[in-house]
Amino acid sequence: MNGKKLFAHLPRIINTLTDSIVSDERLRHLNQVNLPDRERIIQAIGLLRQLLFPGYFGQPGLTSDNLHQRLSQLVQSVAEVLYEQVSCCLRYRKNIAADSTQTANGDDCNDQACQIVVQFLDRLPAVRQLLALDVRAAFDGDPAAHNVDETIYCYPGLFTISVQRLAHELFKLDVPLLPRIITEYAHSLTGIDIHPGAQLGERLFIDHGTGVVIGETTRIGMNVKIYQGVTLGALAPAYGQMLRGTKRHPTIEDDVTIYAGATILGGDTVIGKGCVIGGNVFITASVPPHTQVTQEPGRLHYRERGKRKKGDEPLVLDFQI
Amino acid sequence: MNGKKLFAHLPRIINTLTDSIVSDERLRHLNQVNLPDRERIIQAIGLLRQLLFPGYFGQPGLTSDNLHQRLSQLVQSVAEVLYEQVSCCLRYRKNIAADSTQTANGDDCNDQACQIVVQFLDRLPAVRQLLALDVRAAFDGDPAAHNVDETIYCYPGLFTISVQRLAHELFKLDVPLLPRIITEYAHSLTGIDIHPGAQLGERLFIDHGTGVVIGETTRIGMNVKIYQGVTLGALAPAYGQMLRGTKRHPTIEDDVTIYAGATILGGDTVIGKGCVIGGNVFITASVPPHTQVTQEPGRLHYRERGKRKKGDEPLVLDFQI
Amino acid sequence: MNGKKLFAHLPRIINTLTDSIVSDERLRHLNQVNLPDRERIIQAIGLLRQLLFPGYFGQPGLTSDNLHQRLSQLVQSVAEVLYEQVSCCLRYRKNIAADSTQTANGDDCNDQACQIVVQFLDRLPAVRQLLALDVRAAFDGDPAAHNVDETIYCYPGLFTISVQRLAHELFKLDVPLLPRIITEYAHSLTGIDIHPGAQLGERLFIDHGTGVVIGETTRIGMNVKIYQGVTLGALAPAYGQMLRGTKRHPTIEDDVTIYAGATILGGDTVIGKGCVIGGNVFITASVPPHTQVTQEPGRLHYRERGKRKKGDEPLVLDFQI
């Protein structure tokens, strides 16, 4: 039986691997406080989504009669998971700061976590107000939308904005790790990567959204519309950590539309009010208000498919098709 | 214990949240008929995939002997889930149309759902015929493919096309909500967003595919090859709903290849037969047949990394690296 | 009851579908050896990730005391799943080669699988060395990263590189199907599609990453930084299989940065050492070392929003906003 042959090799493999882990402190999380629990965090996001959009997700059949009871259960579950995970993140930071392998004293972290969770939950009605405007913008902006329910129930852009607006509240409350884990979860589902630090204005509409990246220090005004593949990013220095904490992503003023695939970089780059940025342009400097920017039109080139005579100049850019 | 402190705040938080939901009818689905069940729909997609590609997915060991029996079970399971979800979607629309909070009379919806599911299932052999051509196109078009099985088993483009061809049948049968939920499921897995309304020709090959967007009124001919990040989209009006129901996405004729990241917009835009569209171009007008379009070549600029003398003009676009 | 009406149609539907499957050998995997099991493979990737980054994923509380015992369990579980799946893939290839519908003799495959799994597991410490450098590059390159743990725990680029470096080992050991299934799993989670054949140099950083495509015969040097939406791809011939086995994807030399959305195609295309490739350029020819390439700047165009007088020339490219 070949399995046996294989298993005879395992003790050696295990020992070599153990040695490599023991002798090199990189890539190991050994004798440390626990990291937050991604599964629990995803569970919390699911519960929060039910609180933001009651009746759309979770158990069907929400009525005026059972509303209060169901909300109570949801809030209690969310509070429990967040309290546990925020505490964990705070202990993690304390431990890192102490540069110690001992478990940090957890009491302060629990107190602080309690305050943070209360402040966060108190913000939910305000977040709902913002999302009601985003939903409206998504419906108004998309001729393919049949009704508002569809945008809430199906649109990945709205989902990602919802999740980022929640993560942004935790970011403002200075919770480590957690906000990024939350937005990365949305990123993995939708391909839309909005850093929890980004400041998003009212009535933001991100259509389709796959490939959108919005960096940490981006500021976006009101009534902005962003299509798939748009980057609001940073210019990369030789050593990125040099730029830590500086404004390095663009500012987008009100009433701007950015078409698919546009790349806009740099902390001093301001896209003025009312601009329309065409697809696939690459912008590293400011654009004055009410300006349309388009890529230099492409070169057209007639292709006589399969009909080239000998001696003709080769069509180098013909992509061989 | 800090948890207790936290829980003392919850009644207030719950009451405020309840009030905000009761007083504002946006973002709530209260006292309404049920929305369709995404988990059940995903289950149906899994079963349909087993019907389209028998033996590739689901229980291993499909043989000539057990084929009929296994298909019987799959069809019955699929019929059950679809009947239930199509009924639900029809009741949902009826309810919306009635602008009423009462549950719509479900009997008509059940009758109609029965007809729709039968018509849909009757189309499966025809959908398989189309997919057999798509599979061939994927294999022929990709030098990295070792055999046809690999394209069926691994290729996200083929998966998304399969799902869209199914959703398109439901779209033609005028089922509300469901077709979009189905294509959004594929979008979330593959990053390829094809609206269920798009008309896809034979032998379509979408390679890699992340970031591809194909809008509702797009028409695509035969033997078309589309790479990742390509948008076939709409020009956005100030108020999107103005364009509802109009042709607002491009027409792609036969034998066209569109390279990565090209953005092609507008309902009057026709990409003629045999065109090759280069990567990252932005097109908002028609292109005549057998034309190659390429982006204006980039500017080259020598960088003396770290060697600039004082007094030299700053390299503004040097991206600081 | 309408369900009954529906079920009356099913025998006919099932028979038609069965006939279509029996009469056409495309799109069916009938009377064949089993395909590999994707769920089991995903399980193996999860376990391998725990071995690469011990303590970051999986059961919390890894300590010096329990390290050896936990690693032993992980290695045994991984070995078991890989042995089973590699055997399955080898039997699959043997069967295909024999062009036979009989089950291939599995003994050779088991022997070979045993050797392959041992060779693969022996490579894990070396893969960890490479990943330690990638982690460092990700932290150094990103001002938004607070610490190294965050890049390991949250960054989709690092996850995908980890998975590809594992799949590449199986690719070099000539395992069929499995390497591609592994990288497609990462692709589905992160939107980053790196073929298992691609040769990635040391200290590779892929930031955000959605939409990145790196083809089978790509070669990447050291200290390369790649942003979201970048394609390192092939020029497509009329019949793709013609190019099977040739070098058809670019070579990227050391110290190159490629900004978001750049598309670089062709097997003879070399991006020289120290180049900076701007966002959204389309490149099909080599670029000399230390060169910066940028897209021709966009056209700026003043828009008098809503103020056009009758008789004015229409602003065709104004995107109607």
Tens of pLDDT along B304-319? Answer: 654 545 555 433 335 5
Residue A174 within a domain: yes
Q: Is the Cβ pair B233, A299 closer than 8 Å?
A: no
Please report the pLDDT score of residue B278 as a whole number: 96
What gap in Å lies between CA C230 and CA C219, rounded to an integer? Answer: 15
Expressed as residue numbers, the domain containing A224 is: 198-295
What gap in Å lies between CA A127 and CA A125, rounded to an integer? Answer: 5
Does A111 score more than 80 pLDDT?
A: yes
Residue B24 within a domain: no
Instruction: Using CB atoms, pick whichever of C188, C215, C283 lies closest to residue B156.
Output: C188
Partner chains of B (3+ C-beta pairs under 8 Å): A, C
Task: Let me know whether B189 and B40 are in one domain.
Answer: yes
* Mean confidence (pLDDT) of chain C: 90
Confidence of residue A98 (pLDDT cuts 50, 70, 90): confident
Instruction: Using CB atoms, pick whichever of C156, C237, C295 lies closest to residue A282.
Output: C295
Q: What number is the average pLDDT over the span A289-302?
A: 90
Q: Is the Cβ pair B2, A113 closer than 8 Å?
A: yes
Instruction: Using CB atoms, pick whichever of A18, A211, A233 lies closest to residue C210.
Output: A211
CB A260 within 8 A of CB B282: no
What's C176's domain CATH number? 1.10.3130.10
Task: Let me know whether C237 and C290 are in one domain.
Answer: yes
Residue C5 within a domain: no
Q: What number is the average pLDDT over the span B70-82?
A: 97
- Residue B16: Cβ within 10 Å count: 14
What DSSP assignment string belongs to A231-262? Answer: EEE-PPPSSGGGGTTS--S-EE-TT-EE-TT-
Task: Let me know whether A137 and A273 are in one domain.
Answer: no
Chain B residues within an 8 Å CB radius of A63: 30-31
Chain A residues within an 8 Å CB radius of C296: 295-296
CB A279 within 8 A of CB B259: no
Residue A108 phi, psi dihedral angles, 5° rounding? -55, -45
Q: What number is the average pLDDT over the span B114-119?
A: 97
CA C204-A211-C276 angle, to 5 degrees, is: 45
Average pLDDT per block of 10 residues along chain C, 321 residues long: 83 96 93 94 98 96 96 97 97 79 67 96 97 95 88 96 98 97 98 98 97 98 98 83 85 97 97 96 95 91 61 45 40
User: Which of A10, A19, A27 is the best residue to mutate to test the C interface, defined by the most C CB atoms within 10 Å of its own CB?
Assistant: A27
Q: Is the Cβ pair C303, A287 closer than 8 Å?
A: no
User: Which of A66, A69, A210 is the best residue to mutate to test the B interface, defined by the most B CB atoms within 10 Å of its own CB?
Assistant: A210
What gap in Å lies between CA C9 and CA C17, rounded to an integer? Answer: 13
| Å between A300 CA and nearest CA of chain C | 15
Tell which residue, B200, B202, B189, has the closest CA to residue B159. Answer: B189
CB B170 within 8 A of CB B182: yes
Please report the pLDDT score of residue A301 as a whole number: 85
Confidence of residue A318 (pLDDT cuts 50, 70, 90): very low
Residue A187 within a domain: yes
Residue A318 phi, psi dihedral angles, 5° rounding? -80, 0
* Mean confidence (pLDDT) of chain A: 90
Please report the pLDDT score of residue B96 as a whole number: 81
Task: Let me know whether C30 and C121 are in one domain.
Answer: yes
| Å between B74 CA and nearest CA of chain A | 27
What gap in Å lies between CA B262 and CA C107, rounded to an integer? Answer: 50
Please report the pLDDT score of residue C212 as a whole number: 98
Task: Let me know whether A141 and A283 are in one domain.
Answer: no
Task: Let me know whether C279 and C206 are in one domain.
Answer: yes
| Å between C265 CA and nearest CA of chain B | 9
| A315 token code pair | 């069509």
Q: Which bin fits B306, alpha (ψ -120 to 50), beta or left (φ > 0)?
A: left
Confidence of residue A286 (pLDDT cuts 50, 70, 90): very high
Task: Let me know whether A125 and A209 are in one domain.
Answer: no
Which chain B residue has its CA at the smallest distance from C260's CA?
Answer: B261
Q: Is the Cβ pair C229, A296 closer than 8 Å?
A: no
Task: Let me know whether A203 and A143 are in one domain.
Answer: no
| Å between B60 CA and nearest CA of chain A | 22
- Give the number of domains in chain B: 2
Task: Let me know whether C64 and C114 are in one domain.
Answer: yes
What gap in Å lies between CA A239 and CA C36, rounded to an integer? Answer: 43
Please report the pLDDT score of residue C285 as a whole number: 94
Q: Is the Cβ pair C27, B278 closer than 8 Å?
A: no
Q: What number is the average pLDDT over the span B221-235?
A: 97
* Mean confidence (pLDDT) of chain B: 91
What gap in Å lies between CA C107 and CA B213, rounded to an integer? Answer: 47
Residue A231 within a domain: yes
User: Which of A294, A299, A305 is the best residue to mutate to test the B interface, defined by the most B CB atoms within 10 Å of its own CB?
Assistant: A299
| Percent of the residues in chain A that have a pLDDT greater than 70, as a whole number | 90
Enter the DSSP assignment of B273.
T
Which chain C residue has its CA at the smallest distance from A18's CA?
Answer: C68
Please report the pLDDT score of residue A225 as a whole number: 97
Which residues have CB under 8 Å from A39's CB, separation 6+?
none
Please report the pLDDT score of residue C313 as a whole number: 47
| Percent of the residues in chain B that have a pLDDT greater than 90, as a whole number | 78
pLDDT per residue as tens digits for the range C12-40:
999 999 999 999 999 999 999 999 999 99
What gap in Å lies between CA B211 and CA B234, rounded to an integer? Answer: 16
| Å between A26 CA and nearest CA of chain B | 27
Residue A214 within a domain: yes
Residue A238 within a domain: yes
Chain A residues within an 8 Å CB radius of B13: 75, 118, 121-122, 124
What's A263's domain CATH number? 2.160.10.10
Does A134 score more than 80 pLDDT?
A: yes
Q: Is the Cβ pair B176, A68 closer than 8 Å?
A: no
What gap in Å lies between CA A273 and CA A256, rounded to an integer? Answer: 6
What gap in Å lies between CA B21 and CA A254, rounded to an integer? Answer: 29
What gap in Å lies between CA C164 and CA C158, rounded to an integer? Answer: 10
Which chain A residue has its CA at the smallest distance from B290's CA?
Answer: A303
User: Pick from C191, C224, C242: which residue ends a domain?
Assistant: C191
Task: Let me know whether B215 and B143 are in one domain.
Answer: no
Q: Is the Cβ pair A261, C229 closer than 8 Å?
A: yes
Q: Is the Cβ pair C132, A26 closer than 8 Å?
A: yes
Residue B19 within a domain: no
What gap in Å lies between CA A173 and CA C62, rounded to an integer? Answer: 30
Chain B residues within an 8 Å CB radius of C240: 140-143, 145
pLDDT per residue as tens digits for the range C139-155:
998 888 888 999 999 99
Which residues have CB under 8 Å from B85's CB, separation 6+?
B36, B37, B40, B41, B44, B178
> Which residue has better confidence, C11 or A2?
C11
C-alpha dist (Å) from residue C255 to A127, C271, C274, C291: 43, 10, 5, 12
Instruction: Using CB atoms, pick whichever of C5, C184, C215 lies closest to residue B154.
Output: C184
| Å between B5 CA and nearest CA of chain C | 27
Task: Let me know whether A180 and A59 are in one domain.
Answer: yes
pLDDT per residue as tens digits for the range B165-201:
999 999 999 999 999 999 999 999 999 999 999 999 9
- State how beta strands A276-277 and A291-294 pair: parallel
User: Pick from A169, A192, A215: which residue ends a domain?
Assistant: A192
CB A107 within 8 A of CB A90: no
User: Pick from C161, C191, C221: which residue ends a domain?
Assistant: C191
Q: Is C230 exposed, middle or buried (0-12, 13-18, 19+ CB in 10 A)?
A: buried
User: Which of C10, C224, C299 is the best residue to mutate to test the B interface, defined by the most B CB atoms within 10 Å of its own CB?
Assistant: C10
Task: Let me know whether C180 and C236 are in one domain.
Answer: no
| C74 token code pair | 């992980």
Please report the pLDDT score of residue B239 as a whole number: 67
